[in-house]
Amino acid sequence: MMTNQKVKVEKTVTINKPAEELYRFWRNFQNLPRFIKHLKEVKVYDEKKTHWIVEGLLDRTLEWDAVIVEDRENEIISWASVQSAEFQNSGVVHFKPAPGNRGTEVKVVREFNPPGGAIGNAIAKLFGEDPKHNLTEDLRHFKMLMEAGEIATTEGQPRGKG
């Protein structure tokens, strides 16, 4: 029997904006569904506690409460699900000035324990075969949103012939 198969993914992206602006946008947790795939809503209870709602498969949702573990303005935000959460997870985002005045390096680390059974299977599918790819996409969308004010898509655009 295998238990506690913690999955950890991390990714860093450089965004051509000051750390203060990126931190402020991220710290307003209700902004997160704008660029994190599958995240439907984050309800803010207070400065430390939030409620996360993720779109699952077959119109099923996963929900859990999380608490802010560390919050240093313009530098770091880390969080963890409460112990009773059905989906145990944690994460941290670091905001660090990029070398050569090139904006800000944003590093995100996510960890989660996939639960077993049907919920575990749904979560595995939800996060895809490659959680690192999902994190890469989320950060790519964050970068586009911050630098261009929108997330560019190819949906509805004609495809080139070739």
pLDDT one-digit tens code per residue, 2-26: 445 778 899 999 999 999 999 999 9
pLDDT for 3? 47
Q: The whole model's pTM is what?
A: 0.82
Q: What is the pLDDT of residue 133?
A: 79
Q: How would you write the chain as a 3-class SS string?
A: CCCCCCEEEEEEEEECCCHHHHHHHHHCHHHHHHCCCCEEEEEECCCCEEEEEEECHHHCEEEEEEEEEEEECCCEEEEEECCCCCCEEEEEEEEEECHHHCCEEEEEEEEEECCCHHHHHHHHHHCCCCHHHHHHHHHHHHHHHHHHCCCCCCCCCCCCCC
Segment 135-159, tens digit of pLDDT = 899 999 999 999 998 887 765 555 5
Mean pLDDT of 93-105: 95
